[in-house]
Amino acid sequence: MKEISVKKKQKLYEGKAKIVFETDNEDYYIQEFKDDATALDGKKKGKIKAKGVLNNQISGQLFSYLESYHVPTHFVKHMSDNSMVIKKLDMIPVEVVMRNIATGSLVKRYGVKEGKELEHPILEFYLKDDAKHDPLINEDHILSFEHANEEEIKQIKRFTQKINAVLKSYFIRRNMLLVDFKLEFGRNKLGKISLGDEISPDTCRFWDVVSGEKMDKDRFRQDLGNVEAAYKEVHSRVFN
């Protein structure tokens, strides 16, 4: 499986932080991570030096780690410093957010106290639609709009809870609090739910256990400075 060799073909899709390419093998794509960073539905734009390389390596490492816990992901192998070979998935246009500590839009929307450790982790669904500002949705929206069926939603929730448990302890051993994160799922060629997209400081919030410092894209969103250093530090701890 890991010996597969693929050749990069034409660009299929360019997102804000990644580009997906077709390959000469119909089962695989190549996903390339960009240094570009956006926030506020793309209204705020910038670059984070070396982010593409760092996020590619961090994501690959976390996907492999999750696979060892029997969470299926689209990761196959690294292709280059800033790209990986991935299995083709039929993506579900829903962003799944899991929260352990209150911050970000949860605080804005519900008025919970910033930094409050949540008694029970909160799983939320958002429709992946920048033009509509990724609105918060529930399971009925997903069913009614036919984005996924009941069994698939159950599976997505089970995987998300498991990923939270596995990654929370992975990061705490590295002196980082996994505050919240966003996942995207799709169906593999057998129709099974698999984890896609990326897991990186672009899509997670990490707070240093000792200093409480933010070590993720909030540094860019909130103009806190030292953005590149934070991504590098996450990378070094992930590979420790």
Query: Which residue in the set 4, 11, 24, 41 belongs to the binding site for ligand ASP (CB under 6 A)?
Result: 41
Per CB under 6 A, contacts with ligand ASP among 82-101 are: none
Name which of ligand ASP, ligand TMP, none residue 42 binds, using a CB cut-off of 5 to 8 Å depending on partner kind: ligand ASP
Distance of CA 183 to the CA centre of its chain: 5
Which residue among 18, 168, 205, 219 contacts ligand TMP (CB under 6 A)? 205
Taking CB under 6 A as the rule, does residue 203 contact ligand TMP? Answer: yes
Is 131 a binder of ligand ASP (CB under 6 A)?
no
- Return d(Cα 240, Cα 235) in angstroms, integer: 9
Q: What are phi and psi of 36, to 5 degrees?
A: -60, 140
The binder of 105, among ligand TMP, ligand ASP, none, by C-beta within 5 to 8 A per type, is ligand TMP
Is 39 an interacting residue with respect to ligand ASP (CB under 6 A)? Answer: yes
The residue among 87, 77, 84, 64 whose CA lies nearest residue 192 is 87
Residue 97's binding partner, choosing from ligand ASP, ligand TMP, none, with beta-carbon cut-off 5 to 8 A by kind? ligand TMP
Can you read off the two tokens belonging to residue 34?
């960009």
Does the protein bind ligand TMP through residue 105 (CB under 6 A)? yes
What sign results for the dihedral spanned by CA atoms 11, 42, 217, 99? negative
Is residue 97 close enough to count as binding ligand TMP by CB under 6 A? yes
Among 35-43, 62-70, 91-99, 173-181, the segment contacting ligand ASP (CB under 6 A): 35-43
Q: E strands within the chain? A: 8-14, 18-23, 28-33, 36-39, 44-47, 75-80, 83-87, 90-91, 94-101, 117-127, 136-137, 176-183, 185-187, 193-195, 204-208
Residues 6+ apart with CB under 8 A from 210: 175
> Which residue in the set 182, 214, 219, 235 belongs to the binding site for ligand TMP (CB under 6 A)?
182
Instruction: Name the one range near ligand ASP by CB under 6 A: 7-15, 33-41, 105-113, 136-144.
Output: 33-41
Closest of 167, 175, 196, 187 to residue 69, by C-alpha: 167
Binding site for ligand TMP (CB under 6 A): 97, 104-106, 134, 180-182, 203-205
